[in-house]
Amino acid sequence: MKTGRKLLGALAAGSILLLSACGSGGDSGNSNSSGSGGGEPTKLTMAIASAVIGPKEEVAVYAVAQKMGYFSEEGLTVDTINADGSVAAVQAVASGSGSITASDTGSLLAAAQKNVPITTIGGLVQNWPWVIATKTDSPVKSGADLKGKKIGVISLASGSAPYARAYVKAAGLDPQTDVELVPVGVGAQAAAALNGGQVDALALYTQAYTVIELAGTKLAYLDNPDVFQGIRSLSWAVASKNFKDSPETYGKFLRAAYKAMLFSASNPEAAMRIGYQVFPQILGGADPSTRLANDTETLKTWIKTATPATGEPSSWKDWGAISDAEWAKTQDYTQQAGQITGPVELDKIWDPSQLQTANQFDSAAVIKQAADYQP
């Protein structure tokens, strides 16, 4: 996080894992051509801020929008690449390897402070998903107990690391000297590190813990202090120049994405079945019938973080909105986590001008599609 733009570009080239979605189209990180008004479709690349394909935004957003025709209805052809964490995904978008990413908002603020030319255009994960977990018999019962311990994070380039630092700092400890952060990935790899004693605790998001618990490892969770309430997690970001040149293209992408989110929240099992079609690597060669129940449960956990905490799907509106208060809370957290050194002017990073377009769709029709879906 202390490097300059030259190093950011170099890291972007080395960090991106070109794992294109099965059956997806497009071969460019930049938009070209026109939208749904005729002619060739606009090509976009969604950079997924994870090196692992799983039941989260790549299913609830990308796979559903792809298979249900939401992208094509907008005149878009969208493919994917994977990046090793939010920092790498932001770098991918800034360098042109990707067109849009849903990445840790703190990483977006840090990039803006370093004058990386990216713009945040809408929110995605709105309920704080990160939490510290330990084994059920662990002596670690509070943040203060983490002194001298090792905390497993997804990677040092993911939102996991700044969360762990901020949690430790909120507990009155020094994140630089009182704990050690150890990259452990997610899933079985993270569980093995905890069960094997390589780390004393994990700093992951709730969906990742669902995967671990469903695989047989029981966990205990530490309470998050109030400082984490109201902080935004993943938000959508694009290269500033691309957005300035064609803002309506990204408004159309967001509309397709939010329709897919509504579909997925209304029928998570259908979304998961679609996810298997688009990303068969999720199954790892297993029969879908042996995985569907657990994977659907995992997807539901992720969806809960990305949709309103109250109300039925039919009542949800203002997709992508981030209030000034939420920005302020997120900036405070990001500064406490050491990602930024001071406040970032919102005009430098936030442009919600396409959210009106993104919210112009028939929610009832999408919910009916979800209810009527047949595999």
Handedness of CA 215, 216, 217, 219 (dihedral sign): positive
- Which residue reads 């606009």 in tokens? 42
Residue 309 pLDDT: 79
Instruction: Pick the closest to residue 48 from 3, 99, 5 (CA basis).
Output: 99
Largest CA distance in the chain: 63
SS3 95: helix
Task: Give yes or no on whether 5-127+232-372 and 130-228 have one common fold.
Answer: yes
DSSP state of 93: H
- Asked if 335 and 232 touch (Cβ cutoff 8 Å), the reply is no
Question: pLDDT tens track of the chain, all 375 residues?
Answer: 333 333 333 333 334 343 334 434 333 444 443 344 457 899 999 999 987 788 999 999 999 999 999 999 999 999 999 998 899 999 999 999 999 999 999 999 999 999 999 999 999 998 898 999 999 999 999 999 999 999 999 999 888 999 999 999 999 999 999 999 999 999 899 999 999 999 999 999 898 999 899 999 999 999 999 888 889 999 999 999 999 999 999 999 999 999 999 999 999 999 999 999 999 999 999 999 999 999 999 999 999 999 987 888 999 999 999 999 999 999 999 998 889 999 999 999 999 999 999 999 999 999 999 999 998
CATH number for 5-127+232-372: choose from 2.60.120.10, 3.40.190.10, 3.40.50.1100, 3.30.420.130. 3.40.190.10
Helix (H, G, I), strand (E, B) or coil at 299: helix
- Dist CA 14 CA 83 (whole Å): 10
Helices (H), the chain: 5-15, 57, 64-67, 70-73, 86-95, 105-113, 160-170, 187-195, 206-214, 240-245, 247-266, 268-278, 288-306, 324-336, 355-358, 363-372
Q: Can you identify the CATH homologous superfamily of domain 130-228?
A: Periplasmic binding protein-like II (3.40.190.10)
276, 59 contact by CB (below 8 A): no
pLDDT of residue 38: 57
State the CB neighbour count (10 A cutoff) for residue 156.
15
Within 10 angstroms of residue 92's Cβ, the number of other Cβ atoms is 29
pLDDT value of residue 226: 85
The one-letter amino acid code at 25 reads G
Can you tell me the distance from the alpha carbon of 270 to that of 331, in angstroms, rounded to the nearest whole number?
A: 36
Instruction: Give the residue extent of every domain in the chain.
Output: 5-127+232-372, 130-228
